[in-house]
Structure 1
Amino acid sequence: MESNQYEVIIIGGSYAGLAAAMALGRSLRKVLVIDAGKPCNRQTPHSHNFLTQDGKTPFEISSVARAQVEAYKTISFYSDTVISASKSDPGFLIKTNDGSTFSGLKLIFATGIKDILPEIPGIQECWGISVIHCPYCHGYEVRNEKTGILANGDFGFEFGKMITNWTKDLTLYTNGKSTLTSEQSEKLTSKKVTISEKKISQIIHQDGKIQSLVFEDGSQEKINALYAKPDFEQSSPLISELGCALKENGYVEIDQFHKTNVPGIFACGDNTNMFRSVAFAVSSGTMAGAACNKELIDESF
């Protein structure tokens, strides 16, 4: 096999991609991991809810993971962004931003998603630090503190109901007219959840830690944390360009073995499900790598 030809090319080298690479490295497969080095959680100060790694920084976890994966000599790494991917015979042809080309029999997309944050000054700087997405990842650290939720409608109701488990000092910010039903509003209010329809104009923060919310009417409210679930899109448009189907919610459609609808292409990690945590990403990547190896065995036997 030539130097630029691989059995599997993994696009994305964060937790899911590294887990897939480890499974394949331990299966003696020649693998290339291509990664641009910009994980979605790079602003997050600490990672939680992952046994043996609770409280470590994302960089600490990924650095150890990278070193362990590099120990498998059949795995190579390339630092760049993949700009095109096409079917070839056999497998797939990959081109990176610097003009390099690689071919692989199988592809694994571990490319994650791209958050589309509301156009509120300050929210980007706070994202992953004090504007948070998941109570299982971050809720314990802001337990019993003055907390907000940026949401509306059915989702706002369900999110509000959930976060009452972590704090009783809770405000649901609908950021404009509430679309909650009267029954939903009454239920939240009965549980001491405040509902605010004021439009947020700015988030005042110190190094990503929220100090207060500023509203269009000029008023301010101090809070310590704000839950939000922004819209998103797939980080890599190549997934759709290759014909991989997306579900209605925007995630890549996969089967139980992380196969997409396109033969030879697998997907794992945040691009496939809403459970954005290191633990889920590692589990997802391990399954994708193992299933990919099994497919290679079946095709050559």
Structure 2
Amino acid sequence: PAELRGRGRDECRRHGVELIDGIVLCVAKRSDEHFELQLEGGGRVAGRRLLLAIGVKDVWPDVPGLEHIYGDRAHVCPDCDGYEATGKKTVVIGKGRRAVGMALNLTTWTRDITVCTNGRDPDFTDEYCEKLTALGIPVIEEPITGIKFREGELRSLIFDGREPLGVEEIFFSIGQYPADDLGAQLGCERDDGGHIVVDEHHHTSVYNVFAAGDIIPGPQLAIRAAAGGAVAALSIHKSLVPEERKLEPMTAGAEESQGSKESQGLLSLLP
């Protein structure tokens, strides 16, 4: 929400953060301690550390009217919104593994499910077909040409070349790709879906480059993105502490000894 983002930006300003509303065209790593961003319009910004929180862009299926019911009767996450389909006629729009996985997940809420590929090749393996058949989930391949409403309620899908299909809830799988190619420009390791791979500190494969949010693998949840950003911020701050100001890491034996001493000290305080 705009109000929440506004509060966050105001807090940043109170702590001396410079906010730049601009588009980064390219990034270059000049050294381990020097990154340079080129902005649209010719501006340049330099920094010692870089956090990528660029997110991803969604690719929606070409279904006229789908955008008008998104979030109400059309959803993308069976884990978040599957309850809305309880006992209802539900259609999954998509193809391949994504569509089949979504349909199978929804069977915990409803058994009245149909998969529609919207004119595309289903791209189903024998395993996918067997699982759908065993659960009585039909597949419709004809293109969807429209969504029919009655008194403001979702009623059916209209197809090119077949009868309409009654529906109460729609779930659709979406394609995704990184919002920009900054990670690729830097040479960050990415998975098969284009997400930037990070370690437990949210550090990427490129030294002093960190990443958080939907651009990294895993569930795409706001609370997870915020937590990841916090972990990355902690890691960045620790990386900026000069080496001469850091303590030598404790060995496993030293940690056990320290823990034993602390326990003994605690016991000595007890009556």
TM-score clears 0.5: yes
Q: Is residue 291 of structure 1 aligned with residue 235 of structure 2?
A: yes
Q: Which residue of 1 aligns with 2:23?
A: 81
Q: Which residue of 1 aligns with 2:171?
A: 227
Give 3-state SS (helix, strand or coil) of 1:83's partner.
strand
Seen in structure 2, the aligned counterparts of structure 1 residues 127 and 96 have a Cα distance that, compared at 3 Å, is farther
Task: Tell me, in whole angstroms, the C-alpha distance in 2 between the residues paired with 1:95 and 1:128.
Answer: 37
Contact 1:86 1:92 in 2 (8 A): yes
Task: Tell me, in whole angstroms, the C-alpha distance in 2 between the residues paired with 1:141 and 1:158.
Answer: 18
Give 3-state SS (helix, strand or coil) of 1:76's partner.
coil
How far has the Cα of 1:235 moved from its partner?
0.4
Seen in structure 2, the aligned counterparts of structure 1 residues 94 and 182 have a Cα distance that, compared at 3 Å, is closer
Q: Which residue of 2 aligns with 1:270?
A: 214
**CA RMSD, 1 decimal:** 3.0
Task: Tell me, in whole angstroms, the C-alpha distance in 1 between the residues paired with 2:218 and 2:153.
Answer: 25
Q: Is residue 175 of structure 1 aligned with residue 99 of structure 2?
A: no
Q: Which residue of 2 aligns with 1:257?
A: 201
**Structure 2, unpaired ranges of 5+:** 246-271
> Highest CA radius of gyration, 1 or 2?
2
* Amino acid in structure 1 at the alignment position of 2:105: M
Q: Deviations over 1:162-209 (max 9, x none)?
A: 111233332222334544456644543443534323332334579x98
Task: Tell me, in whole angstroms, the C-alpha distance in 2 between the residues paired with 1:70 and 1:260.
Answer: 25
**Structure 1, unpaired ranges of 5+:** 1-57
Matches within 5 A, 1:1-20: none
Contact 2:87 2:112 in 1 (8 A): yes
Moved more, 231-240 or 76-85: 76-85
Q: Which of these residues, 143, 156, 166, is aligned with residue 212 of structure 1?
A: 156
Q: Which of these residues, 46, 52, 58, is aligned with residue 115 of structure 1?
A: 58
| Count of residue pairs the alignment pairs up | 242
TM-score by length of 2: 0.75
Q: Which of these residues, 70, 76, 79, is aligned with residue 12 of structure 2?
A: 70
Q: Which residue of 2 aligns with 1:139?
A: 82
Q: Deviations over 1:211-239 (max 9, x none)?
A: 53221115322423322222221101122
Moved more, 183-192 or 129-138: 183-192
Higher relative contact order (CA 8 A, sep 6+): 1
TM-score by length of 1: 0.68
* Amino acid in structure 2 at the alignment position of 1:159: M
Task: Tell me, in whole angstroms, the C-alpha distance in 2 between the residues paired with 1:209 and 1:236.
Answer: 38
Q: Is residue 148 of structure 1 aligned with residue 91 of structure 2?
A: yes
Q: Indicate the percent of aligned positions where both proteins have the same amino acid.
A: 27
* Amino acid in structure 2 at the alignment position of 1:151: G
Contact 1:129 1:209 in 2 (8 A): no
Contact 1:122 1:205 in 2 (8 A): no
Contact 1:137 1:277 in 2 (8 A): no
